[in-house]
Structure 1
Amino acid sequence: MITEHLPLYGLRLRTPRLELRLPTLDELGQLASVACAGIHPPEDQPFSEPWTDQPPERLGLSVVQHHLQKAAEWTPQSWSLNLAVLYEGEAVGIQDLGARDFAVARQVHTGSWLGRAHQGKGIGTEMRAAVLHLAFAELGAVSAKTALIEGNARSEGVSRRLGYRHDGVEVISNRGRRALERRMRLSREDWEGHRTVAVAVEGLEACRSFFAAEDADTP
Structure 2
Amino acid sequence: MDPWPLWQLALRTPRLELRPDDDAGLLELVEETLLGIHPPDRMPFGVEWTDAPRESLGPTTLRHYWSERAAVTAQRWSVHFLVRLDGRVIGVQSLSAESFGVLGEVGTGSWIGLRHQGRGIGTEMRAAVLAFAFDHLGARAARSSAFDDNRASHGVSRRLGYRPDGTFTQVRRGVPATQTRLVLARADFARPGWQLAVTGVTSCLPLLTGREPAE
TM-score bracket, normalised by the shorter chain, equals over 0.9
Q: CA deviation at 1:215?
A: 6.9
User: 2:19 matched to which residue of 1?
Assistant: 21
Q: Does 1:38 align with 2:36?
A: yes
Aligned to 2:200: 203
Gaps of 5+ in 2: none
Deviations 1:11-50, CA, capped at 9 Å, x for gaps: 0000000000023322211101111111000000011111
Match of 2:117 in 1: 119
What is the distance in 2 between the residues matched to 1:134 and 1:79? 15
| Letter of the structure 2 residue corresponding to residue 139 of structure 1 | L
| Aligned residue in 1 for 2:107 | 109
Rounded Cα–Cα distance in structure 2 between residues aligned with 1:104 and 1:198: 28
User: How much does 1:207 deviate?
Assistant: 1.3
8 Å contact kept, 1:23–1:83? yes
Q: CA deviation at 1:65?
A: 1.0
Instruction: Say which SS state the counterpart of residue 214 (structure 1) adopts.
Output: coil
Correspondence for 2:46? 48
- Count of residues in correspondence between the two structures: 213
Note if contact 2:127-2:191 (Cα within 8 Å) is conserved in structure 1.
no
2:168: which partner in 1? Answer: 170
Paired with 1:215 and 1:10, the residues of 2 have a C-alpha distance of 17
Give the distance between the partners of 1:155 and 1:111, measured in 2 at CA: 10
Distance across 2 between alignment mates of 1:140 and 1:206: 15
Q: Counterpart of 1:208 in structure 2: which amino acid? A: L
The answer to whether the Cα contact below 8 Å between 1:110 and 1:145 also exists between their aligned partners in 2 is: yes
2:6 matched to 1:8?
yes
> What CA distance in whole angstroms lies between the structure 2 residues aligned with 1:172 and 1:25?
33
The verdict on how the C-alpha distance between 1:122 and 1:213 changes in structure 2, with shifts beyond 3 A counting, is farther
Question: How many angstroms does 1:213 deviate by?
Answer: 4.8
User: Does the CA-based 8 Å contact 1:103-1:215 persist in structure 2?
Assistant: no
Task: Indicate yes or no: 2:134 matched with 1:136.
Answer: yes
**8 Å Cα contact 2:2-2:203 kept in structure 1:** no
Shift of 1:4: 3.0
Amino acid in the other structure paired with 1:200: A
3-state SS, counterpart of residue 4 of structure 1: coil
Query: 1:95 corresponds to which residue?
Result: 93
The RMSD of aligned alpha carbons is: 1.5
Give SS of 1:158's match: helix
Q: Which runs of 4+ in 1 moved over 6 A?
A: none
Residues 50-94 of structure 1 show CA distances to partners (whole Å, capped at 9, x for unaligned) of 111101121111221111111100100000000100001110000
Structure 1 alignment gaps of length 5 or more: none
> 1:68 maps to what in 2?
66
Instruction: Classify the secondary structure of the residue corresponding to 1:5.
Output: coil
Query: How far does residue 202 in structure 1 lie from its aligned partner after superposition?
Result: 0.3
CA distance in 2, matches of 1:60, 1:122: 27
